[in-house]
A and B are shown apart, each in its own frame.
Chain A
Amino acid sequence: MKKNSDLLSKLLQKFSSMLPWSVALICMPLIQTSYASEPQPWQWNFQPPATPVMEQIIDFHNLMFFVEVGIVLLVLGLMVYIVVKFNSKANPKPTKTTHNTTLEVLWTVIPIVILIIFAVPSMKLLFFMEKAQNPEMTLKVTGNQWYWSYQYPDNGNFEFDSNIIPDEDIKPGQRRLLEVDNQVVLPVNTEIKVLLTARDVMHNWAVPAFGIKIDTIPGRINETWMKVTKIGTYYGQCSELCGVAHSRMPISVKVVSKEDFKKWLKKAKSEFASSDNNKMLKLAQLKK
């Protein structure tokens, strides 16, 4: 119970200090000004796409969005009309209509047609995401509590961990909760096979700008592919509840030109331990 009264006083303190923050935020510009590979304040749309998959996701979503907004506005319009025309003062005598076959057929068939209109691009997108590629390299991603490890089996078979840069070490210009010590470096315009697994509990590797989001499940390898078409740095966050630091295991991918990638590989091979002698193994207690 002591915890609760601590909570309560902290709550009250926070409330009184929140006011200036709130005012500041409201005054911030409401229009998104620049495209970047990270979330922007007041962003209400997807992060700009950096892969053909994400471009297709956005296109398909836009189709659905406009139709759905239309449906919502239609229902709203009908309800406004009802309020105006059929309130008890405007219409004292109710009708007895309980059937209208035409209407019933229309509002069954038209939604079916709309769903078919959605289903076609939906299936196209799904199968495009699945299309077997000719990957030029492989990236292996492993989820841990609470960091990611990356292995490059085709390019020197080295492995490294990617830990969050904690709040207290964040420098100005860096993004809190998104920066890591070792980024994943990948070449642009290259088809990459991604293998994913986890070492302890379920995690999920996600990069919004890529349109990638796959569960990493212990005891199982998942596979997907990606091809990033824009040089830049891209951020994502773990997307499956994995314990106390679930909010603190970000993903940071640096996509560089193919030449820069080769240069980085050389450095990385010597800097990062070979997968053969990898990781500090903690002598964990056995379950029994």
Chain B
Amino acid sequence: MELKKQKSTTRVGDGVVNMRKKSSRNGLTAVVLGFLVFSMIGLAYASEPLYRIFCQVTGYGGTTRIAVFDNKGLVAKNSITVRFDANVNKLLPWRFKPMQNKITLRPGEQAIAFYEATNVSDKPIVGTAVFNVAPFKVGEYFNKIECFCFTEQILLPGQTVQMPVTFFVDSSIAEDRNTKEVSTITLSYTFYASDDQSEVENLSRTSLEIKKSVDSLRRTQIIQPG
């Protein structure tokens, strides 16, 4: 539509008056818009917990579940292979590997697997493991009962530990159209140096106390080195 400017019935200065009259309405509009702005910022911060909940509920991205083993006797017919993968972040001076390449089991059966980690540096370090499974779509069927990844691990210099993970694959994996043809699941861990290394200080204090009592014991008794 074409706009035509008609000879105006308003007077010079009315534009300014017009602006002043509108200022309260403008203010209200601005407040509403400002509210939208803060809502979007809130949404950005809420994204982290929202994504996490979404992943946990749906198993998205290979997010696994934590479960109590409930053996209803439901076991799938066909076996599935679970292979174990280990990675270490570049900034963590540990060696980390699975103690078995793979385990074959039937969905519904429980199994235990071991990983081994060695601290090859000269300082005690707290490590934390992140994990996922591949292919991602089996995430919601992969349940961990006990896992070293549930807690942080502290390793002394040179120390090697074996860490278990107890798990089962839910038998309903065989009924899901999407996942029933999956024959191999890869469970992968990556160890990082923990953000929070405060346990190391506690350890130092504790080990210092232990050393003190061992020393005093040594003075009273001869302790043969093992």
A residues contacting B by CB (< 8 A) are 132, 134-135, 138, 140, 142, 144-145, 153-154, 157, 193, 195, 197, 199-200, 218-223, 275-276, 278, 281-288
Contacts and interface: CB of A to CB of B under 8 A. Distances in A.
A275 B188 contact: no
B153 interface: no
Interface residues of B, number: 37
Interface in B65-102: 83, 85, 87-95, 97, 101
Given A200-B90, A223-B134, A283-B121, A218 B190 contact: yes
Interface string B129-141: 0101111100000
A221 B125 contact: no
A74 B34 CA distance: 45
B184 A193 contact: yes
Contacts, number: 83
A277 B85 CA distance: 15
Given A195-B188, A275-B97, A287-B193, A132 B91 contact: no
A278 B91 CA distance: 16
Contacts of B184: 135, 193
Contacts of B88: 199
Given A157-B101, A220-B130, A220-B132, A286 B193 contact: yes
A140 B85 CA distance: 9
B48 to A, nearest CB: 15
B130 A283 contact: no
Contacts of B181: 132
Contacts of A145: 90
Given A153-B85, A221-B134, A284 B93 contact: yes
Question: Top 8 nearest A-B pairs by Cβ distance?
Answer: A223-B134, A221-B188, A200-B90, A219-B130, A199-B90, A219-B190, A284-B91, A283-B93
Contacts of B190: 197, 218-220
B182 interface: yes
Interface core residue of A138, A140, A197, A286 (most chain B CB under 10 Å): A286
B89 A223 contact: no
A276 B89 contact: no
B197 interface: yes
B134 A134 contact: no
Interface in B94-133: 94-95, 97, 101, 120-123, 125, 130, 132-133
B186 interface: yes
Contacts of A138: 83
Given A135-B184, A222-B134, A287-B193, A199 B89 contact: yes
Interface core residue of B61, B183, B190 (most chain A CB under 10 Å): B190
B59 interface: no
A220 B125 CA distance: 22
A281 B133 CA distance: 26
Nearest to A221: B188
Interface core residue of A142, A153, A157 (most chain B CB under 10 Å): A153
12 contacts: A132-B183, A138-B83, A153-B83, A153-B85, A195-B188, A197-B188, A221-B85, A278-B95, A282-B90, A282-B93, A283-B93, A284-B92
Contacts of A200: 89-91
Contacts of A157: 101
Contact of B87 (A153, A154, A197): A197
Given A132-B181, A219-B192, 13 more contacts: A135-B184, A153-B83, A193-B184, A195-B188, A199-B89, A218-B89, A219-B190, A223-B136, A223-B186, A275-B97, A281-B94, A284-B90, A287-B91
Nearest to B179: A132
Given A195-B186, A221-B186, A281 B93 contact: yes
Given A157-B101, A195-B188, A286 B91 contact: yes
B95 A142 contact: no
B62 A221 contact: yes
B19 to A, nearest CB: 33
A135 B184 CA distance: 9
Contacts of B193: 286-287
